[in-house]
Amino acid sequence: MPKIDIYTSPTCGFCHAAKRLLNEKGASFAEIDVSRDPDDRKAMMQRANGRHTVPQIFIGETHVGGCDELYALERAGKLDQMLAA
């Protein structure tokens, strides 16, 4: 399973939904809370091409995007393939 990074903040409902889906898939992920460290937020924005909202999700080297994009991959049947790569 590829390394998964998810940039979050504790009060973000979309972050909780994205983590819930990943947990349902049995995927382990590294959660980076950007609300506590401005350097983590800067790193997220650089990695996510300037996007500043959370969550920002990376599966391997692929920037998935946010919660909506993660669920779109699931609906299209592509998330399992990405997680198995």
pLDDT one-digit tens code per residue, 58-79: 999 999 999 999 999 999 999 9
**Cα gap 76→36, rounded to integer Å:** 34
82 versus 85: the higher-pLDDT residue is 82
Q: At 56, list the tokens.
A: 């920002």
What domains lie within the chain, and their CATH numbers?
4-84 (3.40.30.10)
- Return the ∠ at Cα 74 (arms to 72 and 77), rounded to 5°: 110
pLDDT one-digit tens code per residue, 16-60: 999 999 999 999 999 999 999 999 999 999 999 999 999 999 999
pLDDT for the residue 1:
78
